[in-house]
Amino acid sequence: MPHELAPLPYAKDALEPYIDAVTMEIHHGKHHGAYVANLNKAITGHSALESMPIERLLANLGSVPDSIRTTVRNNGGGHWNHTFFWRIMGPGCGGAPTGQLADAIASTFGSFDAFKEKFEAAGLGRFGSGWAWLLLNRGKLEITSTPNQDNPLMGKDIAGCEGIPILGVDVWEHAYYLKYQNRRGDYLKAWWNVVNWSEVAKRYAESLR
């Protein structure tokens, strides 16, 4: 079964003014759409891969044939990362996490503000294209970043980190250039206003199980 580009879970202008509608339309329709199309093209004819859920495919890149491994890594990563990204954002969001997740963030990073600072630094420090992540690794929260479309599900040998992503921000220039141009730091600061903390908390709780 080929992978599909799911519709955005909200209107393309729903994250205005922090992320503009044109950026959302191109980012979802063109960039994410291309990752899905390229992934499907690459795995066509590899029946074991065709039926594999995306998470399993990414966790088992070592078993993907050499001839398509980089294509699957880049485009499969791009597909999963963007699907995740759309879900952990939303209109009328922002603010701060509550409950168990808030406690874990405070005990791991000192405070919510200290966490935000460290997360923004991970996004700013990613040279070139990539992602900054909050992940759960062996029961502990960690902040990290990955290049290009790599993600922690791919494991340490490939992505340089491992764990279950709880929160992630896209710092490819295509995620912010139309509105923020070279000011990645401004984009990262504005981005907190669209973080869907109830979705993030749900993912945290599921990852603990």
Partner 1 sequence: MNSSNMKPRKNKTGTTRKVNRRKFLAVSGVVCASGAVGILVPGAGAAVPHGLPPLPYPDNALEPVITARTISFHYGKHHKAYVDNLNKLAAGTEYAELPLERVIVATAGKPDKTAIFNNAAQVWNHTFYWQSLRANGGGEPPRALRDRIEASFGSFEECKKKLAEAAVSQFGSGWAWLVLDGEKLGVVKTANAETPLTTRQTPLLTIDVWEHAYYLDYQNRRADYVNAVLDKLVNWEFALQNLSR
Residues making contact with partner 1 (CB under 8 A): 26, 30-31, 34, 70, 74, 127-130, 147-149, 172-174, 177-178, 181-182
CB nearer partner 1, residue 85 or residue 172: 172
What is the C-alpha R_g of the chain? 17
Taking the CA atoms of 21, 174, 161 and 3 in sequence, report the sign of the dihedral they define: positive
DSSP codes of every residue in 29-80: IIIIHHHHHHHHHHHTT-HHHHTS-HHHHHHTGGGS-HHHHHHHHHHHHHHH
Q: How far is the CB of 114 from partner 1 (least distance, A)?
A: 23
Q: How far is the CB of 147 from partner 1 (least distance, A)?
A: 7
Q: How far is the CB of 128 from partner 1 (least distance, A)?
A: 4
Q: How far is the CB of 67 from partner 1 (least distance, A)?
A: 15
DSSP codes of every residue in 95-135: S---HHHHHHHHHHHSSHHHHHHHHHHHHHH--SSEEEEEE
Residues paired with residue 131 on neighbouring β-strands, in sequence order: 146, 170
CB nearer partner 1, residue 34 or residue 102: 34
Q: How far is the CB of 127 from partner 1 (least distance, A)?
A: 5
CB nearer partner 1, residue 33 or residue 91: 33
CB nearer partner 1, residue 17 or residue 128: 128
Judge contact between 150 and 159, C-beta under 8 A: yes
CB nearer partner 1, residue 28 or residue 203: 28
DSSP-based three-state secondary structure for 207: helix
157 Cβ contact partners less than 8 Å away, ≥ 6 residues apart: none
